[in-house]
């Protein structure tokens, strides 16, 4: 295997901007780390000035990438459609930009693997909505779309055993990323020609992660054609979130299947249903009430019980049900690569991303279910 000392090419300022934003840094903060001004960082990001080789090496050390990352001719894929954020509250723009750029950084790595192996990318199925402007979607139509997903993958009316795997089978990439902000649950972007759902790795409840994944899938199937203006309009955004929420409930808990199992509605019985359906108690109560199995009075009492026991953020069995980590790229490497270590070493040279970071991202390390690619600065 040949050793590449230096990739000949011009410095790519867009890659510096990507790393800077994915680490939540200002131009001034980056400049201070290499004894340069903010204006200098601005100029090299815009291609108005070319940094010296020693500066390129220093930048690589700061962001824990090879200096060749800035010099190779591999382009960065960028979002081509509206980004959907699943947030608990509004977050600062700097934090949302950081989260988006972390996803783009992973898309850069993913594109190299996908292109090498000609892996499939997601194509909107015929049952997906392709509206280019906002309109209220009837819940019955959403139920039908959720049902067609189940039919396509022969899921029947019972629990979905692995939500991450289902989404990966559809051709959508799933990533677990430390967004460094507890208020961001997930985001969905179409980067280049590929859809990515990124889950905040700070989430430790499998059932909530599963619901977030179903919610984000709802955005892709229902709202992917909407403009940024539609998404950012407060009244429209509220309805869009309600529709994605309903899709997630209908997909994870189809009415017929849940109605058959919900023979009782007391809390102890619902705990057993949680372990079976792999959804939260709060989601079960909401869905049971929505389809008419749980009365208004029962729903109120059950929600009060949730609050009284301090279960709104952490419920019983949240840490009993295992998290379903991504496996698509890992499986592709396992079945298509004879020498994994050599493959990763060559990919590291080509991409400019260190091998251990690639291994974490592709879930190939021993602790792959606890580590995520997180191109952080070296302090």
pLDDT score recorded for residue 6: 38
239 band by pLDDT with thresholds 50, 70 and 90: very high
Cβ proximity of 29 and 63 under 8 Å: no
Please give the residue range of the domain that contains residue 132.
115-308
Q: How far is CA 297 from CA 134, 258, 376, in A?
A: 35, 20, 50
Is 179 part of any domain?
yes
Is 46 part of any domain?
no
Q: How far is CA 358 from CA 67, 347, 367, in A?
A: 16, 8, 13
In the predicted structure, residue 378 carries a pLDDT above the cut 70: no
Q: CB neighbours (10 Å) of residue 342?
A: 11
252 band by pLDDT with thresholds 50, 70 and 90: very high
369 band by pLDDT with thresholds 50, 70 and 90: low
Is 361 part of any domain?
no
Q: Is 33 exposed, middle or buried (0-12, 13-18, 19+ CB in 10 A)?
A: middle
Return d(Cα 275, Cα 318) in angstroms, integer.
9
Which comes out higher in pLDDT, residue 287 or 227? 287
Return d(Cα 252, Cα 25) in angstroms, integer.
39
Is 166 part of any domain?
yes
Q: What is the CATH number of the domain that holds 122?
A: 1.10.10.2910
Is 284 part of any domain?
yes
Is 304 part of any domain?
yes
For 125-136, the pLDDT digits (tens) are: 999 999 999 999
Is 227 part of any domain?
yes
How much is the pTM? 0.90
Query: Count of domains in the chain?
Result: 1
Is 258 part of any domain?
yes
């Amino acid at each position: 295997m040949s050793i590449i000392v230096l990739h000949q090419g011009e410095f790519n300022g867009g890659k510096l901007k990507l790393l800077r934003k994915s680490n939540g840094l200002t131009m001034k903060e980056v400049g201070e780390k290499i004894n340069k001004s903010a204006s200098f960082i601005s100029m090299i990001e815009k291609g108005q000035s070319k940094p010296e080789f020693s500066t390129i090496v220093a930048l690589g050390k700061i962001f824990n990438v090879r200096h060749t990352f800035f010099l190779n001719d591999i382009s960065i894929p960028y979002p081509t459609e509206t980004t959907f954020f699943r947030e608990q509250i509004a977050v600062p723009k700097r934090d949302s930009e950081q989260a988006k750029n972390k996803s783009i950084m992973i898309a850069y790595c993913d594109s190299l693997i996908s292109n090498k192996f000609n892996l499939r990318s997601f194509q909107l199925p015929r049952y997906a909505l392709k509206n280019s402007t906002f309109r209220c979607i009837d819940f019955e139509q959403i139920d039908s779309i959720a049902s067609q997903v189940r039919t396509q993958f022969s899921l029947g009316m019972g629990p979905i055993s692995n939500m991450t795997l289902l989404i990966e089978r559809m051709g959508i990439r799933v990533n677990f990323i430390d967004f460094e902000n507890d208020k961001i649950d997930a985001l969905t972007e179409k980067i280049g020609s590929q859809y990515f759902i990124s889950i905040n790795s700070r989430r430790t409840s499998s059932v909530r992660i599963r619901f977030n994944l179903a919610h984000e899938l709802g955005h892709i199937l229902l709202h992917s054609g909407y403009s940024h203006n539609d998404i950012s309009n407060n009244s429209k955004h509220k309805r869009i979130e309600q529709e994605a929420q309903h899709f997630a409930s209908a997909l994870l808990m189809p009415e017929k299947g849940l109605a058959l199992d919900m023979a009782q509605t007391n809390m102890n019985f619902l705990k057993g249903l949680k372990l079976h359906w792999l959804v939260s108690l709060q989601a079960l109560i909401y869905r049971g009430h929505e389809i008419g199995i749980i009365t208004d009075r029962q729903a109120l009492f059950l929600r009060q019980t949730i609050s009284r026991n301090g279960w709104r953020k952490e419920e019983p069995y949240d840490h009993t049900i295992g998290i379903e980590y991504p496996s698509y790229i890992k499986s592709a490497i396992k079945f298509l690569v004879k020498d994994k270590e050599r493959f990763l070493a060559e990919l590291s040279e080509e991409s400019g991303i260190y091998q251990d970071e690639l291994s974490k991202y592709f879930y190939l390390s021993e602790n792959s279910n606890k580590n995520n690619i997180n191109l952080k600065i070296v302090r």
